[in-house]
Each structure stands twice: as structure tokens, then as C-alpha cells.
Amino acid sequence: MTTIFFATDIHGSHVCWKKFIHSGKFYNADVIVLGGDITGKAIVPIIHLGGDSYRAVLLEQETLLDGEDAVQDMEKRIQSRGYYPYRTTPDEINELKAQPEKLDALFSAEVRKTLEQWLAYADEKLADSGIRCLVTLGNDDAFDLDDLVRTSKHVHLADGECIPLDDHHEMISSGWSNQTPWHTYREATEEQLQQRYASLVAQIKNPRQSIFNFHVPPFNSSLDQAPEMTADLRPRFAGNSLVPVGSTAVRAAIEEAQPLLGLFGHIHESKGTARIGRTLCINPGSMYEQGALCGAVINLGRNKIKTHMLTTG
């Protein structure tokens, strides 16, 4: 029997990454899988005011920081929300505001720096653990991160591969999503996704015993319910109106191949499980900004899923 722990969409949260790395030991999992979107969404400047004084605004709350300890404490708080703390000066802030390409470069550098730290942490903690760590990059993750993940000894980039988990089960992975209003990195039309999935499915020996680890959930599966948006990206009806935003290509791939298990993410609010035919589909959701790692523990039997459980760890 193989035990998988699956989590997704940790969006820059140091706490969630560390929890993910420790999840194998905690849940007695043989394989830990991260389903994509590891990149944070924002940089919070910690602005040097002169001397030992700094100023930071986290979640619209301004804090004046006095001394290195206070700054480090603020950096931890910022990181716990999944944001990148960045020590800077008022002059540099003005430069970043005026020159978007500099800001892009800064984002890229911060994302890479964080990921390097994460991979080093993983390599240290997973060494000799016997736990396999498979990571997919999601639609919010830039393409240059693929090579960075590949430098790790113990974190394996699963995207685009068919990976045997044990003698009976293989897993295919894709971090791409259907098109979103935010025009992120790994987005494609449903037709393109269909081709992408078809080439992955073709690599599996026994599709009915396989696992599909696709970032975007299947359309209209109840795992893809997101607040309906206005054209200017405001939640309609105060977020009370929910609409399915998943991928029809993912749904078609599952309906056709009927794998044992489908692992999804992307829609943080839509935590749950659902069945499409015989396939158990799971979206563990995400509460990364709370430092809570939403996940799923799945015990694979030879021809079936023996047990599964959603967790908030």
C-alpha cells in the first residue's frame, strides 16, 4: 500500500512549505505531492527611514519598526502570509513605481531566492527520509522556476511526466490551467489542454490504475466553484454567486480514461471531493495566507483507493 499526501496552492507561504516538507513524516506518507502555484502574489516593502527605523504596511496596517529584531519579526509575519518582504529605500520605491521592468526583475529575484531557500530546506529535511517529494508548478508560477526545481536533490519536478509511484500506480502531472481573467503564465485554451493531457495519458500503462495530478479541476465538478466576477474583477453579489470555472478538457480526460484518482487545486475556495464515474477527484483547497496547509491523505490499494482524508494541518 502506498500513501500519498497531496497539497497545493501554497503561494509563497514559508510556513506551508515547511509543513509540506514535514507532511510525509506526520501523515506516514510515502510520497508527498505539491500541485502547483508555489509563487507568492505580492512584495511588501520594508522602507528604511534612516538609522534603525523602518516602515512597513502589511494588510493596510502601518507599522514603524525600530531595530533589527523588529524588522526580522515583521519579515516573518510577511512571509507567513505568503508575501515577500523586501528591505528598500524611499528612492528605490519611487524607481520601482516608475519602472515596471525593474519591478518585474525584483519579483523574479525574490521568487527565485525564496524557492532556492525552500529547496535547500527540503533537501536537508528529506535526505534519508525515504519520502519522495513531487512538485508541479502551476499557472501562477513563472517558467524559469522549472530549471530551478530541477537543481534539487530530493524535490522532483513532476510536470509533464508519467511517474510510477509503486508497482501498480503511475501519476501524470500538469500545472497548466484553462484561461483565467488574470492572464497568468501557464494558461491554454481547452483545445490545447486537451492535446497536452492526451500526450500525457498516452504515456500511462494502465490508465484505470493511474492518478491525474492536474492543477485545474474538472469543469462543473463542485471542485471548481469560484465567486462570479464582474468585468473589473469584483466578486458579484458580494461573493454569494458561485460559478464553475474548471476545465472541460480535464473533465473529458477523466471521463475517458477513468483513472483511480484525480488531484486538483487552483480554486482555493472549492475544497472537497467528488466522483466522476469511478474516479475520486480531490481539491483540498488552500488557506495558505493563514499558514494552514490544506491537504489530502490517500492510501492506495492495488485496484482501489483504500482510504482518503482531507486535512487542515
Partner 1 sequence: MASSSRDTTGDLFVRKATGLVRSWSVFDAFVYAAFSINLVTLGLYIFSQMYFLEGGLLPTLLISSAFILFEVLVYAALIAVMPRSGGDYVWQSRILGGGIGFVLAITGWWFILWLWVPLYSDMFRHLFLTPIFGLLGAKDLALWFGQNPLGLFLTSLVVCGFVAFYIAIGMKWYARIQKYCFWLGLAGLAIFFGLLLFGSPEAFQMSLNQEMPGLFGTAENVYTATMAAGQEAGAAAPMVGGGLGAILMAMPFMVFFNLWPNWGTALYGEIRGATDFKRNFSGMAWALIITTALGVVFFFLVQKTFTWDFYMNANAAWWNYAWGYTDQVPPLPIWPNPILLASMMLPGRFLKILVVLLISFWWFGWSGTVFLSSTRIIFAAAFDRLLPEKVAEVDEKTHTPVVALLLMVVPSIIVSALFAWNVFSFQSLTLNSTLVIAVTYLGTTIAAIILPYRKPELYNASPIAKYKVFGIPLITVGGVIFAAFLIFLLYAWLIDPLQLYGIGLANTSSIIFLLVMYGLAAAIYFGFKFYRKRSGINIDQVYQEIPIE
CB closer to partner 1, 52 vs 255: 255
Rg of the chain over Cα atoms, rounded to whole angstroms, equals 20
State how far the Cα of 4 lies from the Cα of 64, in Å rounded to an integer. Answer: 44
Closest CA to 278 of 252, 296, 305, 297: 305
Q: Is residue 300 part of the contact set for partner 1 (CB under 8 A)?
A: no
Shortest separation between residue 204's beta carbon and partner 1, angstroms: 25
Instruction: Single out the residue of 53, 180, 194, 209 in contact with partner 1 (rule: CB under 8 A).
Output: 180
175 touches partner 1 by CB under 8 A: no
Q: If binding is defined by CB under 8 A, does position 87 make contact with partner 1?
A: no
Whole-number minimum distance, CB 151 to partner 1, in Å? Answer: 22
Q: Is 33 in the site for partner 1 (CB under 8 A)?
A: no
Which of 158-166, 198-206, 246-254, 287-295 is the region at the interface with partner 1 (rule: CB under 8 A)? 287-295
Q: Which three cell numbers stand for residue 68?
A: 533589527
Q: Report helix angle 14-27 to 100-126, nearest 10.
A: 20
Q: Which residues does residue 29 pair with via DSSP β-bridges, in sequence order?
A: none
- Binding status of residue 207 toward partner 1 by CB under 8 A: no
Applying CB under 8 A, does 251 fall inside the site for partner 1?
no
Shortest Cβ 205–partner 1 spacing (Å): 27
- Is 290 a binding residue for partner 1 by CB under 8 A? The answer is yes
Retrieve residue 193's grid coordinates: 489542454
Cell numbers 485545474: residue = 216
Q: Nearest distance from residue 237's CB to partner 1, in Å?
A: 4
Residues 179, 249: Cα–Cα separation, whole Å: 12
Q: Nearest to residue 276, comparing CAs of 256, 261, 255? A: 255
Binding mask 2-21 for partner 1 (x = CB under 8 A): ---------x---x--xx--
Cα dihedral 221, 227, 230, 232, rounded to 10, equals -110
Among 2, 39, 114, 136, binds partner 1 (CB under 8 A): 39
CB 18 within 8 A of CB 10: no
Q: What are the CB-based long-range contacts (under 8 Å, 24+) for 123-126?
A: 123/152, 123/153, 123/154, 123/155, 125/21, 125/22, 126/21, 126/24, 126/154, 126/155
Only segment of 152-160, 165-173, 188-196, 240-248 that touches partner 1 (CB under 8 A): 240-248
- Amino acid of residue 203: Q
- Enumerate residues 119-148 that contact partner 1 by CB under 8 A: 125, 139-140, 142
CB closer to partner 1 out of 68 and 255: 255
For cell 481539491, name the residue. 283
Residues from 99 through 118 that contact partner 1 (CB under 8 A): 100, 103-104, 106-108
The single-letter code of the amino acid at 238 is A
The one among 34, 38, 43, 135 contacting partner 1 by CB under 8 A:
43
Q: Is 169 a binder of partner 1 (CB under 8 A)?
A: no
Options 30, 53, 58, 194; binder of partner 1; rule CB under 8 A: 58
